[in-house]
Amino acid sequence: METGADAGARGLSGPTAAPMTTILYQHSSSLQHEMPPGHPERPDRIRAIHHALSTEDFADLDRQAAPEASLEALTLAHPAEWVDAIVASAPAAGMMQVDADTIMSPGTLEAARRGVGGAMAAVDAVFAKEADNAFVATRPPGHHAEKTQAMGFCFFNTAAIAARHAQRRHGAERVAIMDFDVHHGNGTQDIFWDDASVLYASTHEMPLYPGTGHLSERGVHDTIVNAPLPADSDGAAFRAAMEARILPRIDAFKPDLIVISAGFDAHDRDPLSSLRLLEPDFAWATARLMDLADRHAAGRLISVLEGGYDLRGLSSSVAAHVATLMGRNALAATA
């Protein structure tokens, strides 16, 4: 049941302010990153998102092709030698297993580079005031990719590279990354563990893969903020954790840009987790982060797709997320 405060939150119900300008970055290469039959991180995820965003509610969404990031851009978060090793590993045919559940096909490298390129373009767009915010709907995801380790379906850490790009290209002094994927973003935490200029905050189920994300993991400069949730936690528990631990820390950090690692596998339907979030919870979190971006970052916010493996839950949650970014009634968009 929504509370009165929930009903008044941006994008949830009632009259809204002027529509936001939102760019959707996507690319057909996301469909060419192939997986073995039965793998949850499959091309149908992108097809489901495309279908959800093809309705009249999203007719005026600005859709742009994600550019391909240069190999040099990947070194914003990963050593050049490691990037070279991943590139050299890309198969010309068939599939190559990187770890137990991370697999490269001939289309993987371009897909991953397009995801990074889309996130960098999104950063450029919000700093140039070409858009209020942006959503990058590409795969593979990125938040498990550590400095020198591809894992958990991830190769390059898209959110981390976007944050570094904002700092290098646009002079952002502080960037906040909020990760509401059900799995802890060990890669993003690894990259920014000793960096005072980037705040990494995460809600996630625990215990669950990859086993990191304890409350005690705070980083060298206390800029790592974890809010683990036990199995079967619902939207009320998620919102309480956000209100108690995450939102106040982002507010106090006063970021020049907010990056969302937008995983939707905390949805009640998702097969890889046991949290019970629903579409209004993702819309609520999006709206609260937009409020903080308005307060500190001139509205600058970008979102990059991470997990979400039940196609129905993924598509409806993305619709709620994007509708909120656009300043629309998120619940109407998912009805």
| Domain that includes residue 321, residue range | 19-333
Compute, in degrees rounded to 10, the torsion defined by CA atoms 122, 124, 129, 130. -60
Q: What is the band of 328 on the pLDDT scale with cuts at 50, 70, 90?
A: confident
DSSP string, 254-300: --SEEEEEE--TTBTT-TT---BB-HHHHHHHHHHHHHHHHHHSTT-
Residue 284 falls within a domain, yes or no? yes
Percent of the chain with pLDDT over 90: 91
Report yes or no on 1 lying in a domain.
no
Task: Say what the pLDDT of residue 330 is.
Answer: 57
Q: Residue 200 — pLDDT band, cuts 50, 70, 90?
A: very high
Checking phi first, is residue 271 left (phi over 0); if not, alpha (psi -120 to 50) or beta?
Answer: alpha
Q: Does residue 13 lie within any of the structural domains? A: no
Question: Each residue of 82-122: pLDDT tens digit?
Answer: 999 999 999 999 999 998 889 999 999 999 999 999 999 99
Residues serving a catalytic function are 144
Query: What total of structural domains would you count in the chain?
Result: 1
Is residue 141 predicted with pLDDT exceeding 80? yes
CA 220 to chain centre: 24
- pLDDT for the residue numbered 332: 45
Model pLDDT for residues 258-280, shown as the tens digit of each residue: 999 999 999 999 999 999 999 99
Tokens of residue 168, six digits: 């290098």
Region of residue 241 (phi > 0: left; psi between -120 and 50: alpha; otherwise: beta): alpha
Q: Is residue 260 part of a domain?
A: yes
Mean pLDDT to the nearest integer, 64-77: 98
Model's pTM, two decimal places?
0.93
In a domain, 190, yes or no: yes
For 206, the 3-state DSSP assignment is: coil
Q: Please give the backbone phi and psi of residue 309, each rounded to the nearest 5 degrees, phi first.
A: -125, -5
* Domain assignment present for 55: yes
CATH code assigned at 204: 3.40.800.20
